[in-house]
Structure 1
Amino acid sequence: MLVKRLAQFLLAALLLAAAAPASAEQVLKVGSTPTGIPFTFLDTKTQTIQGLMVDLITEIGKDAGFTVQIEPMQFSALIAALNANKVDIIAAAMFITPARKEVIDFSDPIYTYGEGLIVPKSDAAEHAGYDDFKGQVVGAQVGTAFVDALKKTGQFSEVRAYDTIPDILRDVNAGRLKAGFADYPILAYNLKQGGFPEVRIVESYKPTIIGSVGIGVRKADQELLGKINASLAKLKANGTVAKILDKWGLKAQAS
């Protein structure tokens, strides 16, 4: 009887030990934005943040052995929240830039693109660059690389910094803004939804800032960065990244 009970005890202990890794899986907080579709956005039906970057970091977590808890916040607050330990990862439409790399680290590039230009539909000109808007009021999203680039030209009477890209679209739609500059895929996706009928994207415009989106981590978290990059490489190789991009209307790019 004693031997039988001991065997039962050992079996129970083994079962608990086997279950322990799953129950103890690390949960990491991921800073993401409620605006920025198709990269990230607030799904009003579920009141959760969804999008390309959410799908990607979720799949990376599955492969790397952690689960994610999405924390919504404004784009301009992401880096401060990461370095204040309020979140552990940034997954948003954030360019990898030299200035940002001084304060945080990034994964390998995920998707590369430039800024798009939007104007009122009443403006039918095929604009190619900044010169067409000398002395005008233009806008971009606060915290992005586009604001400083516009200001540095010294060409504009004012560069307005907006909290969100839909805010820029609304002002162009209402005729309050001559031109807006923002992430091309986000502008294109928003316009396809039909919510800004008096806005058009200028296809003749040549972007001046072309960058790659990456996943952000604290500089101290090199082990985490290594896991993210290893999983990202695996997901690129097996076609998962391409499937996620396709789901959100973007084409896979050559590495």
Structure 2
Amino acid sequence: MKNKMKHSVLITMLLMIATLFVTAFTVPSVQASASDNSLQQIKQKGYIVMGTAPDYPPYEFIGKDNGGSKVYGADIELGKAIAKDLGVKLKVKSMGFDSLLVALQTKKVDMVIAGMNETPERAKSVDFSKTYYSSGLSLVLNSADDKKIKSYKDLQGKTIGAQIGSVQYDAVKKGIKNINLKGMENINDLILALKSEKIDAIPLDTAVAEAYAAHNPGLKIIDAKMPGQESQNKIAFFKGATSLENAANKTIDKVNKDDLYTKKFVPAAAKHITNNKSQSQFETMWQYKNFFISGIEYTMIISVVSVFFGIILGVIFALMRLSHNWLLHSIAVCYIEFIRGTPQLVQIMFIYFGLGTIVNVPALTSGIIAISINSGAYVAEIIRGGINSISDGQSEAALSLGLSKKQSMQYIVLPQAFKNIWPALGNELVTLIKDSSLASVIGVGELMYQMRAVQADTYLGVAPIAVIMVIYFVITFTISRIMKHLEGKISHGTND
């Protein structure tokens, strides 16, 4: 019987893995082979979705807008120009730079404008427009090192930081030998690492380097002097979107003809870059209180909804795993072991990008689904442990009194099990609140996302981090106290 059960579990797990691979690899190929109606689809729905990573001033960054936040930048102005020429509205979707091409391939966005350069590797997955702006490569370093580092040749033996997935990362990796290269997703993190002397230099697009150096005293930029490393910014489109790409190229031709990017788009973006040099960090953080309040709202929405569905899933799969039905048991084991054996960040990205190829699920909903599913697996094991802690004599006594197995579980076992596992459930809720920060990778505006927004707009690295640390502590400490109070109430009620 045990061998049969193990065999069935193995078959079920293999089927689950096969389903994941079929979803991940067959759907994009179907999309690529479809006929090109990309421009027609944009005009039919009346808007075009632009994906970007808003930590790249003056190209794209997050600024204040009527108490809230909004993405500004020269690339945003270009996106508006393209949308205007197409006769549609522009919608901007923010996410991490290394997630942009995945979002494009899964059609979460219609185009990516993010100071992106074409590379042979990227060209295999997406199509690129004409160049709309060219810029050089500079190095950002601490002013104290300007005599030690004059060009890229002086970087040998040093620690260099670069944004993961950027052409600067590839340029340094291929062009400079004997260096310790550290990749980070966010440029603000790189600047923070540079100022704290964790790294010696950062290769950046010249315009971006100038923006960060201007707002960070103690930093300096120099010409990298690397041959053939001029940045050629282009727009990315999903494979086969020829009609949409051609329409965008017409706008780019007009922009290049009159040099609108440099003369109009960059100055328009510069008006929204915050100047907070005359203010204390406390005053600056207070001005962004609405950002943090919005982050708290999203964090609590994700946490409350996810813990609700997580407990429901936990109860269902705990009972399934304890079931004597081999099929139900096998499904529960596969679910629990697979979810617990894969990183939650990967699960969030798969729900949003992977399943998004079949059903277009919004970022917030995707985050809630992924976190609920993840929480359900852990809660299931907590509940199973609680049920197993109840002696068999309890169930036997209930059956002898005429209760059914279902009634025994509902009225006798589960209430006692929940009393035993209440502290563990409280810990799971606290963990879930902190894990909600992972949803920022797909652009959900929770606390971590808002912290990044404040960093990008103020050029302050540590202060926004300190603020959300305090906020997270206040939330989790308050919930811990509430759970402790309820635990005392439950224990007192049981003793009575």
How many correspondences in the alignment?
224
Match of 2:85 in 1: 63
- 1:28 maps to 2:48: yes
Q: Give secondary structure in 2 for the equivalent of 1:92.
A: strand
Contact 1:63 1:231 in 2 (8 A): yes
Match of 2:266 in 1: 245
Match of 1:110 in 2: 132
Q: Give secondary structure in 1 for the equivalent of 2:117.
A: coil
* Shift in Å, 1:26: 2.0
Distance 1:116 1:62, change over 3 A: same
Contact 1:117 1:202 in 2 (8 A): yes
Q: What's the % identity of the aligned pairs?
A: 24
- Cα deviations by residue, 1:61-115 (Å, 9 ceiling, x for unpaired): 1012222110001111111110011111101111122322221111111111122
* Shift in Å, 1:248: 4.5
Contact 2:140 2:213 in 1 (8 A): no
Query: 1:52 and 1:183 mapped to 2: Cα distance?
Result: 14
Match of 1:101 in 2: 123
- 1:41 maps to 2:69: no
Q: Which of 74, 82, 86 is equivalent to 2:104?
A: 82
Query: 1:207 and 1:153 mapped to 2: Cα distance?
Result: 8
Query: 1:180 and 1:187 mapped to 2: Cα distance?
Result: 9
> Aligned letter for 1:52?
A
- 1:219 maps to 2:239: yes
Segment drifting more, 228-237 vs 35-44: 228-237
Q: Give secondary structure in 2 for the equivalent of 1:47.
A: strand
* Shift in Å, 1:157: 4.1
Structure with the higher fraction of residues in helix conformation: 2
Contact 1:141 1:163 in 2 (8 A): yes
Segment drifting more, 23-32 vs 174-183: 23-32
Q: Give secondary structure in 2 for the equivalent of 1:110.
A: strand
- What's the RMSD between the two structures over aligned residues? 2.1
Structure 2 gaps of 5+ residues are 1-42, 271-496
Distance 1:77 1:96, change over 3 A: same
- Structure ranking higher on relative contact order (CA contacts 8 Å, 6+ apart): 1
Query: 1:151 and 1:25 mapped to 2: Cα distance?
Result: 42
- Cα deviations by residue, 1:163-190 (Å, 9 ceiling, x for unpaired): 1222211111122211111211111012
Contact 1:30 1:68 in 2 (8 A): yes
Q: Which of 202, 205, 208 is equivalent to 2:222?
A: 202
Contact 1:141 1:147 in 2 (8 A): yes
- 1:139 maps to 2:161: yes
Query: 1:154 and 1:211 mapped to 2: Cα distance?
Result: 18
> Aligned letter for 1:213?
N
Query: 1:157 and 1:206 mapped to 2: Cα distance?
Result: 17
* Shift in Å, 1:153: 4.4
Distance 1:239 1:185, change over 3 A: closer
TM-score (norm 1): 0.80
> Aligned letter for 1:70?
V
> Aligned letter for 2:96?
Q
Q: Give secondary structure in 1 for the equivalent of 2:168.
A: helix
* Shift in Å, 1:44: 3.6
* Shift in Å, 1:127: 3.5
Query: 1:154 and 1:33 mapped to 2: Cα distance?
Result: 27
TM-score (norm 2): 0.43
Q: Which of 177, 189, 199 is equivalent to 1:167?
A: 189
Distance 1:137 1:236, change over 3 A: closer
Query: 2:167 and 2:87 mapped to 1: Cα distance?
Result: 33
Contact 1:25 1:65 in 2 (8 A): no
> Aligned letter for 1:29?
V
Structure with the higher fraction of residues in strand conformation: 1
